[in-house]
Amino acid sequence: MGVYVRLYTEDELTRVVMEKILQQMDRGYSVFGFSYWYKHTVQKRVADLNHSAKGDVLYLVVTDQDTPGNCPAGAVENLGAPLAPNLLYRFAVMEIEAWIMADRENFAEFLSVDIHSVPQLPDEVPKPREEIVAIAKKFRVKDIRTQLSPNPSNPASRVGLNYNKVLSGFVREQWNVHSAQKHSPSLKRTCQRLQTFRLKRV
């Protein structure tokens, strides 16, 4: 029997990654709705989510860890009640881009760079988003390099205008969660939790 999932992520790229993970879990997960919430919104409204996570739906919340020391437990410690069994709150260490880079072989092939250009332990990269931009600058095809890299005339930009679109396309077409787990402990923990999750109808 399948499990319906209500997905909460910070952005479209994280949603695409999570949809691919759920698809490759082979557990019959089906996303029937999603919302984009920044981390501070999640932390403010986690009590509401905790209350709603009952019945026949898995509430799955995924945000970036961003800085060392952050953890889902810290975000829910003020609930004053046990975490609802149908609410899972996971962090990508440090950013969702670490999970994307963790499929090193496919990512290197996608960018036409040597696999040694892709970190072996992306969870240990402090700023994975900036790491991807740095790798993209080695890309031999100017079009993709330009789409991922920030505009030099805009000092405030961290990534290119089509950054999310390009990476989302890679995730949908090439990214493999089973390969990525080998290089990302945080991704592996999330996949293990999803693999063993059992819906509790309250």
Residue 34: pLDDT band (50, 70, 90) is: very high
Q: Render pLDDT for 148-185 as a digit per residue (tens, 0 to 9).
A: 988 877 777 789 889 999 999 999 999 999 999 999 99
Q: Render pLDDT for 105-125 as a digit per residue (tens, 0 to 9).
A: 999 999 989 999 999 999 999
Give the model's pLDDT for residue 152.
78
Name the token pair of 180. 């990525």
> Alpha helix (H) ranges present in 35-182?
39-52, 72-76, 96-101, 104-111, 128-136, 142-148, 163-173, 177-180
Across 65-93, average pLDDT: 73
Q: From CA 19, how far away is CA 23, in angstroms rounded?
A: 6
Q: What is the pTM of this model?
A: 0.91
Name the token pair of 2. 């399948």
Name the token pair of 163. 């950054």
Give the model's pLDDT for residue 12.
96
Q: Render pLDDT for 82-104 as a digit per residue (tens, 0 to 9).
A: 778 999 989 899 999 999 999 99
Fold of 3-96+185-196: Rossmann fold (3.40.50)
**Domain locations in the chain?**
3-96+185-196, 97-175
Mean pLDDT for all residues in the chain: 89
